[in-house]
Amino acid sequence: MVGNQKQVNAMNNILETIKTVSHEQIPDLAHDKFVQVYSQKFGAEKAEAFFEEQKNLFINELTYGSYKDLLKNADAMSIYFAFLFLAINGLSIEKGNTTTCYLECKRVKIGENQGKDGKNYPVYQSNAVITVTGYGEIILRQRAKQIRSVDSPKVVYDCDTFRYGESDGRPTLTWEKCLPRPQGSRVIACYVRIIKNDGSVDYFVLDTDEILRLKQYSGKANAYWDNNARVMVPRPNALYGKADDGSDIDTGFLKSKTVKHAFKGYPKLSIGAGGAFESDKDLDPVDNANVPATPEEAPANGVQVNTDESDPFNQ
């Protein structure tokens, strides 16, 4: 009991100190807990090296990253738990073609205040959060023994032969690529093949309906206030394209979206405080009070993952 109380007191002291230091100093305050957690889950041999690596990457994001201006006003406790999230899940925020997670800032409603007019108005707080990409989710689901591997995503065009359905309760998919593809061929879907832990095969298909649904969510999530028209203007990510049927979507962007949403029918994973899955962020209910007032105020939407046909998801 005495030992436990000492740990509680030490943690309380750290949490109080966090409120008085700069955000760049918080990783050092989290050192002992970070190394302890990582050692318990992944072994002590690389714990210190992983801490130093992630500390430098984390501070770099706070200082130079896409969300640096918003993170300056982030709640200090959220910075602390976002950093610990990396140790808990053994993921790195190092950027690359298959980035597993990244640091961003999200405003969350924490209550309401009554205005001079007697009406209640929402109160928001900026929180740091680690967002897990589709590639990071693959790693976590492999560790959880849900899947063995995921093949590279394949983009399907309207000139290809493509069928997707079920046979005897099992998913079936056939795809034959048209070569050469006619000029003006339109994108109609993207799919990945998933090998489950028991060796069975599963497929996830992101078709036109899903593409348009995600584009609509993106438009709402990135909407901005038009002072002249006095309305919120939807602004979907430009990579979704301009075509009404979604057929001109950027194919690299489409592949990353397919990987990101491939596990929406799978059991939820517990990843702890300080983080969230990118797939959940796409479908979060939108509160427009949480949206930057003008396009210029909005940072880039996290890390865009550039995929190609040779990405070795299943190696």
Q: What is the pTM of this model?
A: 0.80
- Which pLDDT belongs to residue 262? 95
Mean pLDDT of 270-291: 70
Mean pLDDT of 198-202: 95
- Read off the pLDDT band of 218 (50, 70, 90): very high
- pLDDT above 70 for 155: yes
- Which pLDDT belongs to residue 279? 85
Mean pLDDT of 129-147: 95
- pLDDT above 70 for 315: no
Euclidean distance between CA atoms 30 and 167, whole angstroms = 52
- pLDDT above 60 for 201: yes
Mean pLDDT of 58-80: 95
- Which pLDDT belongs to residue 76? 94
- Which pLDDT belongs to residue 115? 84
Euclidean distance between CA atoms 253 and 260, whole angstroms = 10
- Read off the pLDDT band of 20 (50, 70, 90): confident
- Which pLDDT belongs to residue 4? 66
- pLDDT above 90 for 254: yes
Beta-carbon contacts of 269 under 8 Å, excluding residues fewer than 6 positions away, are 137, 140, 141, 144, 277
Strand partners, 20: none
Euclidean distance between CA atoms 300 and 264, whole angstroms = 25
- Which pLDDT belongs to residue 291? 38
Mean pLDDT of 192-206: 96
- Read off the pLDDT band of 148 (50, 70, 90): very high
Antiparallel, parallel or unpaired: β 154-157 and 161-167: unpaired
Considering the chain, what percentage of its residues have pLDDT values greater than 70? Answer: 86
